[in-house]
Amino acid sequence: MTFGYGLKHYKTLVTAEQTTAAITAPTIQKKSPPLPEAVSLPVEVSKGSASLKVNLFNRQGSLLRQTSGILLTENRYLVLPLASLVDSYQVQISLNNGDKQLIGQPFAIDTSAGLALWKLDLINHAYYPLVETDALFSGKEFVVKDNSAQSSGLVLSIAYDDQEDVNSLYFAKIPNQQQWLGAALLDPDSNELIGLVINNINNDNTYSVLQTSSLINLLEELPDESNATLAQASTFYYTRTALGQLQRITQLTDDQQWQEALLKAKRLNYQHPQYKDRVLPLMKLSFTNLINQATELSRPQLALRLINQANAALGTSTERLITRTNILNEMSLHNKAITSLKSALLSTPEQADLINQLIRKTVFLKANNLAEDEKEKRISIIKQALQDDPNFDQYHRYLGKLYLSSGKFDDALHHLNSAVILNEQLYDELTPLINLAANNQSGTTAAEVPLQISNNNIFVSVKINDDSTPLRFVLDTGASFTALSAQTAASLGITTANDSSVLNLETANGPIQAPLVTVDSIALSSVRIENTDVVILDTLRGADGLLGISFLKHFEFNINQSESTLTLNRRSLQ
């Protein structure tokens, strides 16, 4: 049977004869916060101490742990916290005369207060009388005493209470490095019993302590016959007390049983929201490991569902934002990733810097995942991103290069200049491209190229794929394609694949077949054309290559043989 406590008042009257067996002690001077130092004041008891040493044994008969309990009222009821009884099979008490006695099964268990009670036949033993009091409150100092030691402590705050309008359970600090489970709390002025330590919250000497009103109610509502067992103590502690459930969740996380820990943590957080400061970190730990497991097992949809659940329960976190974005990007769901990040930006503006970084990363992944010949789509992606983030220098840098390679020099010049204005560190990198765009603007003279005329052939100096070595090309305005000699192509590392296109060409020596390849760039003086097709010819009679219309079509050009110059004026290519 489970007992609760309510708005009831009970006062045990202590007779003159009983007073000789009750706790008496000298008055302890009350101190002011901060925490009082540990005290060592003897408590004089006429017939021993009302706190008993308790030995707990497991099923194999081995000592499991030692703890403390208190005797209450003239009936000498022994009260122990459920937390101290976990996994125990036998309970043995040590009496003041040195005798040890097994006490069997508890008479009653109160899961609301987290206590177990025994009826003991210890007529001549000291006990704590119960006096109606509501002495615990935040900032209250107290003396804590068990069967062998005494110290001082301070109430930190109210913890929770299952019953409305009753303040019974508190968090308290006891600085002395000792396990105080089952110890009595005494008022430093009156020496009255004002509470009981029922659980150790963590390792920084924080405990949960129960006010005596719960002890009074427990005794008032005792059943007529015993119906409790030690086995129930463990079960009830882990399943019906908030602190026991919390301890069980901690054990599950220590054992990496993340799913079960998460389910229990959700339930406890719903039932006892006052413990959220301790439950939410365990929920976060469980969610994080479950998300990582789903990701490692290549189950992205499960990972995304867990992230959504974690965000709903815990709020958006930096870690989960990054993980969610990475998963969506790996699934090539870039639009979904960007939409999700924009929503996060509205709901968590304090994370704007991180979210903007993730959006920028996703935009570039989206653009770079397109095929090489989909420049217009890339341009559209970056232009759209610039509407939301107009001062990001890397968008301008990327877009300027796209426009430059597409022959849109006015647009290229605008974005390249914008990038340098926004980030001066880009000056050295982008200045040559800015000059190139400026030289190639529609209607401007792109370059005047010196010519070499020999044996009725006109030669120009050309660079292929930004190679530093200038090559000697024949300028041939009658040739449809630009060509490389096979020897030059080999020296540049340009090879033909088995599936390369082959062109049928008419030459002075008759028709031939020549493989067609695409080079990254052809540069002539200060002008440069990217991604241009060239043919590979076996020989070009002493020349490295031939510059034909496939290159010259980008320009209005004029050959001045008297001055040995080639003037190139950029055409606007749409």
Q: Please tell me the CATH superfamily of domain 370-439, with its number.
A: Tetratricopeptide repeat domain (1.25.40.10)
DSSP string computed for 33-72: SSPPPP------BBTB-SEEEEEEE-TTS-EEEEEEEEEE
> CA 240 from chain center: how many Å?
31
Please, are residues 184 and 172 in contact by the beta-carbon 8 Å criterion?
A: no
Please report the pLDDT score of residue 442 as a whole number: 58
Please, are residues 244 and 105 in contact by the beta-carbon 8 Å criterion?
A: no
The DSSP secondary-structure symbol of 20 reads T
Nearest C-alpha neighbor of 548 from the set 466, 405, 557, 486? 557
Nearest C-alpha neighbor of 324 from the set 283, 286, 370, 355? 355
Residue 305: CB atoms within 10 Å:
13
Through-space distance between the first and last CA atoms of the chain, rounded to whole angstroms: 87
Protein fold of 16-220: Thrombin, subunit H (2.40.10)
Q: Please tell me the CATH superfamily of domain 445-570, with its number.
A: Acid Proteases (2.40.70.10)
Please report the pLDDT score of residue 7 as a whole number: 24
In the chain, which residues fall in CATH 2.40.70.10?
445-570
In the chain, which residues fall in CATH 2.40.10.120?
16-220
Please report the pLDDT score of residue 203 as a whole number: 63
Q: How confident is the model over 271-298, as pLDDT tens digits?
A: 888 788 889 999 999 999 999 999 999 9
Please report the pLDDT score of residue 492 as a whole number: 92
Please report the pLDDT score of residue 162 as a whole number: 46
Low-confidence residues of the chain: pLDDT under 50: 1-47, 161-166, 573-574
Q: How confident is the model over 203-236, as pLDDT tens digits?
A: 678 888 999 888 888 888 888 777 788 888 888 8
> Would you say the pTM of this structure is higher than 0.85?
no
